[in-house]
Amino acid sequence: MTRNRQTEASGIVRLFIMDLSPGALILCFLLCSVAGQAPVISVEPRAATVRQGESVSLRCQVKTGAQPIQLEWTRANNNPLPDNSKIGPDGSVLTIANARPANQGQYRCMASNSAGSSTARAALNVKYAPKVRLTPAGPLRVRIGDPVSVECRATGRPNPKLTWKRQGSTLQLVTTETNNVNTIQWAVVRPEDSGVYICQAENNEGVTEGKVEITVEGGPGAPVASVSSTEMTAVEGQSVTIECQASGSPPPVITWSKLRAPLPWKHTVVGGALTLTSVGRQDSGQYICNATNIHGYSEAYTQMEVETPPYATCLPDQVRLKPGDALRLQCLAHGSHPIQFAWSRAGRASLPAGAEATNDGRLLIARVKLGDSGTYKCVATNHFGSSEALAKVVIRA
Ligand SMILES: *[C@@H]1O[C@H](CO)[C@@H](O)[C@H](O)[C@H]1NC(C)=O
Please give the full DSSP string across 31-65, using - where no structure is assigned. Answer: HHHHHT---EEEEESSEEEEETT--EEEEEEEEE-
218 phi-psi bin (left φ>0, alpha ψ -120 to 50, beta other): left
Confidence check: pLDDT of 16 > 60: no
Which residues make beta-bridge pairs with 185?
Answer: 149
Band (pLDDT 50/70/90 cuts) for residue 34 is low
For 268-281, letters b (16+ CB in 10 Å) and e give eeeebbbebeebee
Give the percent of the chain with pLDDT over 70. 91
In the chain, the N- to C-terminal Cα span, in Å, equals 88
Confidence check: pLDDT of 74 > 90: yes
- Residues 68, 117 within the same domain: yes
Among 42-46, 200-204, 215-219, 247-251, the minimum mean pLDDT is found in 215-219
Confidence check: pLDDT of 146 > 70: yes
| Domain C-terminal end among 217, 241, 266 | 217
Q: Check residues 92 and 32 and name the one with the higher pLDDT.
A: 92
- Residues 209, 268 within the same domain: no
Which residues make beta-bridge pairs with 152?
Answer: 134, 182
| Domain C-terminal end among 274, 291, 307 | 307
Name 239's Cβ contacts closer than 8 Å, sequence gap at least 6.
275, 276, 277, 278, 279
The whole-number average pLDDT for the span 78-85 is: 92
Please tell me the predicted confidence (pLDDT) of residue 35: 56
Confidence check: pLDDT of 5 > 70: no
Determine the distance separating the centroid of ligand 1 and the alpha carbon of 155, expressed in angstroms. 35
The phi and psi torsions of 104 (rounded to 5 degrees) equal: -60, 140
Confidence check: pLDDT of 96 > 70: yes
- Residues 200, 244 within the same domain: no
Alpha-carbon span 382 to 312, nearest angstrom: 11
Residue whose CA lies nearest to ligand 1 atom number 3: 297
Q: Check residues 338 and 78 and name the one with the higher pLDDT.
A: 338
Alpha-carbon span 244 to 80, nearest angstrom: 64
Band (pLDDT 50/70/90 cuts) for residue 77 is confident
- Residues 197, 269 within the same domain: no
Determine the distance separating the centroid of ligand 1 and the alpha carbon of 297, expressed in angstroms. 7
- Residues 178, 229 within the same domain: no
Candidates 39, 43, 78; CA nearest to 61 is 43
How distant, in Å, are the alpha carbons of 42, 60, 96, 100 from that of 103? 21, 18, 8, 5
Torsion of CA 169, 175, 181, 183, to 10 degrees: -80
Instruction: Report the mean per-residue pLDDT for the chain.
Output: 89
The whole-number average pLDDT for the span 261-274 is: 94
According to DSSP, residue 26 is labeled H
Confidence check: pLDDT of 31 > 80: no
Confidence check: pLDDT of 203 > 50: yes
Output the ligand 1 site: residues, CB below 6 A.
257, 288, 290, 292, 297, 299
Residue whose CA lies nearest to ligand 1 atom number 10: 290
The CATH number of whichever domain residue 67 belongs to comes to: 2.60.40.10
| Domain C-terminal end among 307, 324, 352 | 307
Q: Which atom of ligand 1 is nearest to the CA of 290?
A: 1
Determine the distance separating the centroid of ligand 1 and the alpha carbon of 266, expressed in angstroms. 22
- Residues 121, 140 within the same domain: no
Confidence check: pLDDT of 123 > 90: yes
- Residues 121, 57 within the same domain: yes
Torsion of CA 349, 351, 352, 358, to 10 degrees: -160
Alpha-carbon span 99 to 305, nearest angstrom: 63
State the total domains in the chain: 5
The whole-number average pLDDT for the span 310-333 is: 96
Band (pLDDT 50/70/90 cuts) for residue 179 is confident
Q: Which atom of ligand 1 is nearest to the CA of 141?
A: 7
Which residues make beta-bridge pairs with 150?
Answer: 184
Helix (H, G, I), strand (E, B) or coil at 160: coil
Candidates 343, 345, 341; CA nearest to 381 is 341
Instruction: Confirm if 99 and 50 have CB atoms less than 8 A apart.
Output: yes
For 140-150, letters b (16+ CB in 10 Å) and e give bebebeeebeb
Between vectors from CA 353 to CA 348 and to CA 357, what angle results, nearest 5°?
A: 85
Determine the distance separating the centroid of ligand 1 and the alpha carbon of 299, expressed in angstroms. 8
Alpha-helical (H) ranges within the chain are 2-18, 22-35
Please tell me the predicted confidence (pLDDT) of residue 128: 96
Identify which of 287, 292, 301 to mutate to test ligand 1's pocket (most ligand atoms within 8 A of the CB).
Answer: 292
For residue 88, how many other CB atoms are within 10 A of its CB?
A: 14
Among 14-23, 67-76, 299-308, 359-368, the minimum mean pLDDT is found in 14-23
- Residues 55, 9 within the same domain: no
Q: Which amino acid is at 135?
A: T
Q: Check residues 9 and 314 and name the one with the higher pLDDT.
A: 314
- Residues 31, 45 within the same domain: no
**pLDDT tens readout for residues 41-56:** 999 999 999 999 999 9
**pLDDT tens readout for residues 159-172:** 999 999 999 888 88
Distance of CA 150 to the CA centre of its chain: 21
Confidence check: pLDDT of 295 > 90: no
- Residues 121, 153 within the same domain: no
Range of the domain at 366: 311-395
- Residues 317, 302 within the same domain: no
